[in-house]
Amino acid sequence: MGSLIKGDWKKETELRQMLLNNLTWLHLENAKVFDKDMTFDKLHQEIEQSYIKHHAFDWHNHEYSSGAYGKFGPGQFSNLYSALICPTADSRFHFVGEAVSAHHGWIVGALDSAHRAVINFLRRFNLKDAEDRLAKIDWLGNPPDELDKETAVKQVILGQVLPKRRMEARVDIENGKNADAVADGGK
Ligand SMILES: Cc1cc2nc3c(=O)[nH]c(=O)nc-3n(C[C@H](O)[C@H](O)[C@H](O)COP(=O)(O)OP(=O)(O)OC[C@H]3O[C@@H](n4cnc5c(N)ncnc54)[C@H](O)[C@@H]3O)c2cc1C
């Protein structure tokens, strides 16, 4: 699509035509539910009549985005992701957003990461009642499956440790040292 963007929307006739065609295909099935005589041409005409203007943006050639969403390179899920999702500042500061989720490029990644951060925040302060209430909210669905509970709990503990002590604390946790002792000793 980027090649159809000319910088002046009035000149983007091919792009406009493509948009109108795609919108027509998208809505045709539903439109037929309301009007059984609906045809592609009829709906196309209706949509075209509603058209005012468009604004196209080429994300691939945008200096900072270089594309529509974050995407890890090889190995970065193993060596970068776990550090990015680890809370910090006494586990009160959580990073969220599509780029900090296992579902890069999707709204669900943004929502999952926010869901994860809220759960971890509640765990940090032992707000079990609030966590239980959160789990009962139907539309929120199950907690994101990208991070198992055991790992999430460890990350909340690591988030309470000063960053310079985090590697050491991580080894302590893996060696079975009591989690609370790791958090208290690391401040
Ligand atoms: C062209 C395109 C098509 C897409 N299509 C789909 C799709 O079909 N389905 C789908 O699921 N996903 C799609 N996505 C991806 C989806 O839009 C993103 O994954 C989602 O919006 C990310 O949400 P977010 O909250 O993580 O970040 P954003 O929505 O990017 O929110 C970040 C916010 O932070 C603000 N911000 C940045 N810096 C600062 C600062 N210093 N101070 C204050 N505010 C700041 C920004 O202005 C922005 O509002 C598409 C994305 C693009 C670009």
Q: What confidence tens digit (pLDDT) does each residue in 132-184 have?
A: 999 999 988 888 877 788 888 888 888 999 888 888 888 888 888 877 777 77
124 phi-psi bin (left φ>0, alpha ψ -120 to 50, beta other)? alpha
SS3 12: coil
- Average pLDDT of span 111-118: 93
- Average pLDDT of span 66-84: 86
- Which of 120, 107, 109 is closest to 77 using CA atoms? 109
pLDDT at residue 163 in the model? 82
Strand partners, 93: 88
pLDDT at residue 187 in the model? 52
Sorted by where each begins, the domain ranges of the chain are 2-61, 76-185
Mutate to test the pocket of ligand 1, among 5, 69, 100, 115 (most ligand atoms within 8 A of CB): 69
Output the average pLDDT for the chain: 90
Is pTM beyond 0.85? Reply is: no
Both structure tokens of 160: 């309470």
CA distance 69 to 98: 8
110 phi-psi bin (left φ>0, alpha ψ -120 to 50, beta other)? alpha
Which ranges of 38-92 would DSSP assign to H, the alpha helix? Answer: 40-50, 76, 82-84
For residue 95, report the distance from its CA to the centre of ligand 1, in Å: 14
- Average pLDDT of span 58-80: 87
Q: What is residue 36's DSSP assignment?
A: T
The pLDDT > 90 percentage for the chain reads 55
CB 100 within 8 A of CB 113: yes
Q: Residue 43 pLDDT > 90, yes or no? A: yes
Residues in the chain: 187
For residue 49, report the distance from its CA to the centre of ligand 1, in Å: 30
Q: Residue 118 pLDDT > 90, yes or no? A: yes
Atom of ligand 1 nearest to the CA of 108: 11
CB 131 within 8 A of CB 122: yes
SS3 24: helix
Protein residues whose CB sits closer than 6 Å to any atom of ligand 1: 59, 68-69, 97-98, 105-107, 109-110
